[in-house]
Structure 1
Amino acid sequence: MASVPSLFSNSSRYRIGDSTLLRRNRKGICICRNELVLCSRKSETEQKSSLRLHGQGTKRRQALLQIIFGAFSFPSIAVANASADTDLQEDFRIYSDDTNKFKISIPQDWQVGAGKADGIRSVTAFYPGEASSSNVSVLITGLGADFTRLESFGKVDAFAENLVSGLDRSWQRPPGLAAKLIDSKTTNGLYYIEYSLQNPGESCRHIISVIGMASNGWYNRLYTVTGQYVEEESEKYRSKIEKSVLSFRFI
């Protein structure tokens, strides 16, 4: 049994809490008041419909954040026997998961760990053999019946903004975790998101994620590929992590 401490260290600092909703309420209090004034002129049916849609949107945002956070908080990782081809490049190899139907290129000398599946989610992690805060993980999470496609979470820009704003605690006093969106785009049916996380007094952590959805024949599953490295390891690991994350494909 081997562990990936860099993947899950300080996970409590990235935990989603009620403060996210509190922050949104504080920021949007004027807007909420205006909406109440406007709603008073609507019919009771229209008001109920508006509240129902708002509730659905909130649930989807909460589900999104909980799923993405799984990449930082999955409990245990054990070294796995990787199924890998070495015909990619001399310094990279292709890791294929025939059960979960995906493949990804990883550095030749990186180790592979597999999390214990709980029936709802599973994770595979890739990380250097030496002590490091850099790694790549593939988290697979089962979805409810109402999530029929990736756009169920919203378009990529809204998806990315909701994710990063939900992580950000820089508005607190004293300031907490600062999250900044760097880029977001969609290609080949996948969402690509890049952002940074930094606790006060700590190194900046860069995150590169690819999000996709596929069915296992019974229900849809969300695939969250997360590559992360700290600022001081950028020169050593950035290009490797970018190449690995961006190579993710369904098979």
Structure 2
Amino acid sequence: MVPLAFAEEAIPEGYRIYTDDVNKFKITIPQDWLIGGGEGNGFKSVTAFYPSEAANSNVSLVITGLGADFTKLESFGKVDAFAENLVSGLDRSWQRPPGVSAKLIDSKSTKGMYYLEYTLTNPGESERHLYSVLGIANNGWYNRLYTLTGQYMDNESEKYRAQIEKAVASFKLV
């Protein structure tokens, strides 16, 4: 499982802190990674962090609005049930012919956030490893769900695993 967080002052060498004052989050990303974003209708947004060279590894943050009755993550269920439902909903290995295989590795709830680790494997492809962090915050008008997911392919593990883990572990709502 990804370690929880870096100390506020400690920025690992080769990294920088990206702060979004509008959406109220910050994350530590590799110094040379690019940032892309897309704005929806003000109710949702997407921000992606990715290496400058072609790769299937990246970190993306999706922010979506929630109904008033979703005030904390437990509104979606306890972390283990939430994680099992998410991963089993992605799994299609039982189909004939088999589809994507999804496997939950770990899930935990810490400091009001859900942390998930799981894998996805398309038939005939390399395994995709994913780390997700989910949190809820209010922007003054409505509650928003923050879903940060870092992913790398097994064949890119040596190059990107540590970077993805550091970025996901550093994510904070401010």
For 1:219, the equivalent position in structure 2 comes to 142
Percent same amino acid among aligned pairs?
Answer: 72
Letter in 2 for 1:233: E
- Cα shift at 1:129: 0.2
For 1:129, the equivalent position in structure 2 comes to 52
- Cα shift at 1:189: 0.9
Match of 2:108 among 185, 189, 192: 185
On the 8 A contact 1:112/1:126 being kept in 2, the answer is yes
CA RMSD of aligned residues (A): 1.2
Total equivalences in the alignment: 166
Moved more, 98-107 or 142-151: 142-151
Structure whose residues are more often strand by fraction: 2
* TM-score (structure 2 length as normaliser): 0.92
For 2:70, the equivalent position in structure 1 comes to 147
For 1:92, the equivalent position in structure 2 comes to 15
Match of 1:161 among 78, 81, 84: 84
* TM-score (structure 1 length as normaliser): 0.65
On the 8 A contact 1:169/1:176 being kept in 2, the answer is yes
Query: CA 1:87/1:242 → structure 2, altered by over 3 Å: closer, same or farther?
Result: closer
For 2:6, the equivalent position in structure 1 comes to none
CA distance in 1, matches of 2:82, 2:120: 17
For 2:117, the equivalent position in structure 1 comes to 194
Structure 2: give runs of 5+ residues left out of the alignment.
1-8
For 1:204, the equivalent position in structure 2 comes to 127
- The answer on 1:228 being equivalent to 2:151 is yes
The 3-state SS of whatever aligns with 1:229 is strand
Q: Higher relative CO (CA 8 A, sep ≥ 6), structure 1 or 2?
A: 2
The 3-state SS of whatever aligns with 2:55 is coil
- Cα shift at 1:148: 1.7
CA distance in 2, matches of 1:110, 1:122: 19
CA distance in 2, matches of 1:137, 1:210: 11
Structure 1: give runs of 5+ residues left out of the alignment.
1-85
Letter in 1 for 2:149: T
Letter in 1 for 2:137: A
Deviations 1:183-231 (A, max 9, x none): 0011111100000001100111001000000000111000000000000
Q: Which has the larger radius of gyration?
A: 1
On the 8 A contact 1:87/1:93 being kept in 2, the answer is no
CA distance in 1, matches of 2:114, 2:10: 27
On the 8 A contact 1:136/1:225 being kept in 2, the answer is yes
Query: CA 1:109/1:155 → structure 2, altered by over 3 Å: closer, same or farther?
Result: same
Query: CA 1:87/1:243 → structure 2, altered by over 3 Å: closer, same or farther?
Result: closer
Structure whose residues are more often helix by fraction: 1
CA distance in 2, matches of 1:91, 1:194: 25
CA distance in 1, matches of 2:51, 2:10: 20
- Cα shift at 1:87: 7.2
Runs (4+) of structure 1 exceeding 3 A deviation are: none
Match of 1:245 among 161, 168, 172: 168
For 1:172, the equivalent position in structure 2 comes to 95
CA distance in 2, matches of 1:224, 1:92: 21
CA distance in 1, matches of 2:60, 2:41: 17
Letter in 2 for 1:148: T
Match of 2:32 among 102, 109, 122: 109
